[in-house]
Amino acid sequence: MKYFPVLILLILSTSLSAQSDGKDLSTSYKFKEVIDKVSRYYVDPTDDEGLTETAIIALLEELDPHSTYIPADELQAAQTSINGSFVGVGIRFQIMKDTLNVVATIAGGPAEKLGVLPGDKIVVVDDENIAGVGLRNSDVREKLMGELGSKVKVEIQRRNADKNLVFNITRDKIPVFSVDSYYMVDDEIGYIKLNSFSRRSHEEVRMALGDLKNQGMKSLIFDLQGNGGGLLGAAHRLADEFLSNEKLIVYSEGRAQPRNNLRSEFKGLFEKGKLIVLTDEYSASASEILSGAIQDWDRGLVVGRRTFGKGLVQRPMGLSDGSEIRLTIARYYTPSGRFIQKPYDDVDAYRKDISQRYLNGEFVHSDSIKMPDSLKFKTLITNRTVFGGGGIMPDFFVPLDTIGNSDYYSDLLRGGFLNTFSYAYTDKNRKDLLKKYPNFKKFKAEFSCDEGFMNEFFGYVQNEDETLEKNEEEYAVSETAIKLRLKAYLARNLWNTNEFYQVYNATNEILNRAIEIIQNKEYEKVNLDH
């Protein structure tokens, strides 16, 4: 059975080659013919649909690393981050001790409107017990998501309540936010963190920009660390907020796709003022389009580490059974003509590229990056040297921060103990915490992970995993990092993701370097388009 995908792929490849040579062969017929013969004559019963899907996956993998197949039953989940919404009840949840816990409700969502609260435990859905039955995240989504306007009945255990509370929730569109956080770093520097490029991203960023400008923002740090991309159109519109005068933002072209130029079209909200884009090795695709355009036009600086290197454009193409392929149809180029895509001839090496960069020392020393002269380009205003052929090279390199790392800290992270303890602590002490810290500003300034708090944490870890003993030496190395993450999780549980980052960013070395560049006047020393 395991040889059939390879066989089918070979047949498809042969047929396609024959077609390209002008031979009169019907690829689709030949493929159908093989499936039919396998189905009728193979020694064991076969799953024809499964074989077909496996062959499609194998075929696309032969093309490039980013052409993919998405089965019909996975398509909705795959589209959620891109569409910027889904249909559900509007909660952020966590499964702890085999119980569904409400971490937060989405503002304006149906659950919040009916009075569901953070800390509630959902134990019954549509008269079916879901507590203590091995619940998984996928099960939760299946039970709580559904058709727009449909109803779901949930029973909730609430702390100090005498009996379960029953809610009949009407499912509605729930926004998926791509702006994780935005706030003022100081009186003049604004900060925005974008996690993806979705249909909502432009609207969200404009709202953030407007709010920050009202607070006195004169310089902006736009954080694309870890942002794997998304919609080309979103990257185009967001870049337009920073670029003026019909500037070329990106162009794409492919064998069946003529050159398509995307230019700035409208008056952006931040066309003037100091601008720094933060990147790392996981910033990809649309993140590279935006950072490349900013760099090529000398509009701002890129600070961090070399980006992923994805310069291929995929088009979603629906299939008759509701599934979808996302097929690479073009390459995209930055305004200076840089092709950002890193080589992918060796697929295995492509997939290991990030870890290889680490082994090569690139994350620690910028001079470990070797770029040939053939990949040198010039920015369009001041003729600064920039590079193509494998991601966006930052103007200011920031090494990977390994201070504070230890095996003990890694074990705590992998086991999820920092996250789960923070939730359990918040759930137990929410009322007292909010009484003592009625707003985030007071919490950020005054809350500390004192000895009593940490002893409770260590006791929790020991109770959850007897094999994970506190290593005093390693804890001393990671103490600051552990306490900071615990405090950040508490901030998220008490308020939201925005507050999480305001705490957690204290040790964000790339962000801190960007702040330094602005505050220490290094920005002015770079030859930019002022």
Amino acid sitting at position 148: L
285 part of the active site: yes
Alpha helices in 151-273 (DSSP H): 201-214, 232-240
3-state SS, 303-338, equals: EECCCCCCCEEEEEEECCCCCEEEEEEEEEECCCCC
Which 3 state secondary structure label does DSSP give 138? helix
d(C-alpha 326, C-alpha 498), whole Å = 32
Considering only CA atoms, which of 178, 210, 209 is closest in space to residue 275? Answer: 209
Considering only CA atoms, which of 456, 485, 496, 417 is closest in space to residue 118? Answer: 496
How many angstroms separate the Cα of 506 from the Cα of each of 126, 284, 330, 421? 44, 24, 40, 21
Reading the block at residue 136, the tokens are 């998984």
Paired strand residues for 156: 122, 165
d(C-alpha 57, C-alpha 14), whole Å = 17
- Catalytic residue, chosen from 285, 287, 406, 422, is 285
Considering only CA atoms, which of 374, 395, 376, 398 is closest in space to residue 385? Answer: 376
CB 418 within 8 A of CB 490: no
- Catalytic residue, chosen from 121, 143, 247, 310, is 310
CB 147 within 8 A of CB 85: no
d(C-alpha 285, C-alpha 26), whole Å = 35
Considering only CA atoms, which of 224, 230, 273 is closest in space to residue 510? Answer: 224
296 part of the active site: yes
Angle (CA) 41-46-47 rounded to 5° is 140
- Catalytic residue, chosen from 296, 298, 353, 395, is 296
Contacts for 422 with CB less than 8 Å, ≥ 6 apart: 486, 489, 490, 493
CB 88 within 8 A of CB 111: no
- Tell me the helices (H) and strands (E) count for the chain, helix number first: 19, 21
298 part of the active site: no
Q: Residues with catalytic annotation? A: 285, 296, 310
